[in-house]
Chains A and B, each alone.
Chain A
Amino acid sequence: ETGVTQSPTHLIKTRGQQVTLRCSSQSGHNTVSWYQQALGQGPQFIFQYYREEENGRGNFPPRFSGLQFPNYSSELNVNALELDDSALYLCASSGPGLAYNEQFFGPGTRLTVL
Chain B
Amino acid sequence: GDSVTQMEGPVTLSEEAFLTINCTYTATGYPSLFWYVQYPGEGLQLLLKATKADDKGSNKGFEATYRKETTSFHLEKGSVQVSDSAVYFCALLGGSEKLVFGKGTKLTVNP
Contact = CB atoms under 8 A, between A and B. Distances in A.
Tell me if chain B binds chain A.
yes
From B44, B45, B104, residue with most partner A Cβ within 10 Å: B44
Contacts of A81: none
A45 B43 contact: no
Nearest to A102: B46
A63 B67 CA distance: 39
Given A33-B98, A48-B98, A56-B98, A90 B103 contact: no
Interface residues of B, number: 22
A100 B32 contact: yes
A106 B44 CA distance: 7
Nearest to B89: A42
9 contacts: A42-B4, A42-B102, A43-B44, A45-B98, A45-B100, A90-B43, A105-B36, A105-B45, A108-B43
Interface of B: 4, 32, 36, 41-46, 49, 89, 91, 93, 96-104
Interface of A: 4, 33, 35, 40-45, 48, 55-56, 58, 90, 92, 98, 100, 102-103, 105-108
